[in-house]
Structures are given as structure tokens and as C-alpha cells.
Amino acid sequence: MGDLLLRILEAHQGRFVSGEEIGRRMGTSRAAVWKQVRTLRRRGFGVEGARGAGYRLLGRPDVIEETDVLSRLSSRSFWKSFTFLPVTDSTNSRAAEGAEKGAPHGTIVCADAQTGGRGRFDRRWESPPGVNLYLSLLLRPPVESRRAPQFTLVAAVALAKAVEEVAKIPARLKWPNDLYVAGKKAAGILAEMSTDADRLRHVVIGIGLNVNSEESHFPGVLSRSATSLRLATGRTFRRAEVLARFLDHFAESYRDFLSGGMTVLLPEWNRRSLLAGKRVMVRCPDGEMWGTAKGMDEEGMLLFRADGAKGEKRLHSGEIVQFER
């Protein structure tokens, strides 16, 4: 029924059509028409309603289509499978499931919306439909499992490059997995791996990038710390284009990483570091402490000098809970 309404609005090519006429053509009441209008809006269509005039179609949702994404790629041969889901609980869970069933290295799982999007420390990742990117990459890299966390950093550099290219604003990286624009978090990365003794069986790298979300998409206090490319620039972006730019940069960074380790990527990461030289509070297995962040080392560990301590610590995991701006 929603599609019939869409066809009627489309046939009027941006001109108003009265609720009464729509109801007649659909064989429903005006109240039912109003319900269908709301459904179309939830799907991302811009439908304007004006008292006395009716409804008109203003904009279509930004859909992500496989052929559109693939045709924009220069790294086509790197990627072996692309699945797009209108909605799923978590693309990381779908990719891990695929991995257990033998899905190949270079598998991409992308969703328009997630009902159980996951962040680090079991936090929820807001995943409304039609506006952002939620995707997971399945990789089977020939490296020891201790190096798996480094893939978060590979993805972070690729994401920063893609954001800078399409949005034309600087991207900053906050160790270990956040991307900031205009002083707020716009993306997060969640890497999950499966190991077999010391061998890495696979790693799933989940990326959530707020592309076109508006403030109303961030519940409660989140709008103080979270942003999107649209909020930071005042422009909207085609998600397929942002995705393709990221996938190209990822394929390139991944190859650099396999051939030369962190040597090429480290300067790229450190020059975008949000924290280098700043006072930060770290929460790690030993507790919480204040100190100064020094940057990242070859193994992707954060170099950190705790207040009052003589030497530097290397942190392999943890969270920066506060930092000076």
C-alpha cells in the first residue's frame, strides 16, 4: 500500500495532491493515507504535508545498492562478497556467523539499520535507518592473533582518509577506535576476533559512521558528544560514495600493513591523533589514572606517562574517559 502511495506522489512530480484524491485512488480513508505518509517518512522519503493542499514528494531516501557501491570501487578485486541487509541486529554478528560458515576473506556485511548495534564495553550503537553507515568486514589475515587489534588502527586510518576526502574536513583519531570531527565523535570501530591457539582464524571489523544523522537521532546526552558528517559540515552525503571511498582506502591500508607492518600507517595515524601531548584520564585493568598521552607505537599501543611516574607505560587496551580539549 505504501508503494501505491509512492507511485501516486511520484506521478505528480513534486506537485501537491490532495489527501482526498489519494484516499480515493487507494480506496482508503484520509486517516489511513496519513498513516501511509508516516510510514514513507520513516523509510526516509521526504513527504511534505500542507493543510488544504495535500501532500507532495520532496526527496527520496539515500539507498545503498550493491551495484552502485561496487561500480564506484577501484579495489573491486580485494572484495569477495557484499551483503546489504535492510535491517539486522548487528552486522558484526552477521559477519561472524558467515565466518563460521566459511565466508571468504574480503566479505562485507552492510545494513541500513541495526536493532542491536554494539559498541565497545557492551554499549549500544545508535543505528537509525536511512542515514548512516553500519558495516562489518570479515578478514582472514595471515598473522598471529596478538596482532589482531592492529586491524582497528588500519581501519581507523582508512576511515579518516575517506572522511577527509568526501567531507573535506580534518578527521582526528582517538585511541584506540574513535574518529572525531569538529570536536565530537562521528565514528567508532569494534574489532572482534576468533582464534585457534596463536593462530588468528578471522577478525571482524565493525564500523559505524554517522553520515547524515541529525541531532534528533542522538538520544539524551549523546548529542553533546556525538556528531555526524552532516552536522559538522551542513551538507548531506551519498552513503554509497562514502562507503566506496572507505573500502578503497581500507584495501590499500591493509596491503601496506601486510607488507610493511605499522611503518607506513603509524605516521598517518599519529598525525591525526586527537590526544598526543594532551592530559588524559585512562581507565584500564589497573584502574583509573591521569597522565599525558604520547602517541601510539608500532604495535598499536598507547604511550602514556602517568602523573608522577618516571617512565612511559604502553597500554594495549583501555579507554580514555576524559581528555583536555
Complex with ligand BTN: residue 57 or 162, whichever CB lies closer: 162
Find the shortest distance in angstroms from Cβ 177 to ligand BTN: 6
Complex with ligand BTN: residue 47 or 99, whichever CB lies closer: 99
Q: What span, in angstroms and rounded, lies between the C-alpha atoms of 135 and 243?
A: 9
Q: What is the 3-state secondary structure (H, E, C) of 267-317?
A: HHHHCCECCCCCEEEEEECCEEEEEEEEEECCCCCEEEEECCCCCCEEECC
Diameter of the chain by CA atoms? Answer: 80
Q: What span, in angstroms and rounded, lies between the C-alpha atoms of 150 and 143?
A: 11
Find the shortest distance in angstroms from Cβ 283 to ligand BTN: 14
Residue 192's SS3 state is strand
* Cell numbers standing for residue 46: 521526504
Q: What span, in angstroms and rounded, lies between the C-alpha atoms of 321 and 280?
A: 8
Find the shortest distance in angstroms from Cβ 60 to ligand BTN: 24
Find the shortest distance in angstroms from Cβ 192 to ligand BTN: 9
Find the shortest distance in angstroms from Cβ 95 to ligand BTN: 8
Find the shortest distance in angstroms from Cβ 2 to ligand BTN: 27
Complex with ligand BTN: residue 28 or 223, whichever CB lies closer: 223
| CA 80 distance to own-chain centroid | 20
Backbone angle region of 182, left / alpha / beta, with phi > 0 → left and psi within -120 to 50 → alpha: left
Q: Which of 301, 282, 283, 304 is nearest to 293 (CA)?
A: 304
DSSP state of 212: S
Complex with ligand BTN: residue 190 or 229, whichever CB lies closer: 190
Complex with ligand BTN: residue 156 or 301, whichever CB lies closer: 156
Give strand pairing partners of 315.
Answer: 302
Which residues are at the interface with ligand BTN (CB under 6 A)? 90-92, 114, 117-120, 123, 125, 134-136, 177-178, 188-190, 206-208
Complex with ligand BTN: residue 33 or 209, whichever CB lies closer: 209
* 92 within 8 A of 205, measured Cβ to Cβ: no
Find the shortest distance in angstroms from Cβ 212 to ligand BTN: 15
Complex with ligand BTN: residue 190 or 280, whichever CB lies closer: 190
Complex with ligand BTN: residue 9 or 135, whichever CB lies closer: 135
Q: What span, in angstroms and rounded, lies between the C-alpha atoms of 207 and 190?
A: 7
Find the shortest distance in angstroms from Cβ 202 to ligand BTN: 15
Question: Percent helix, strand, coil in the chain (nearest 5)?
Answer: 35, 30, 35
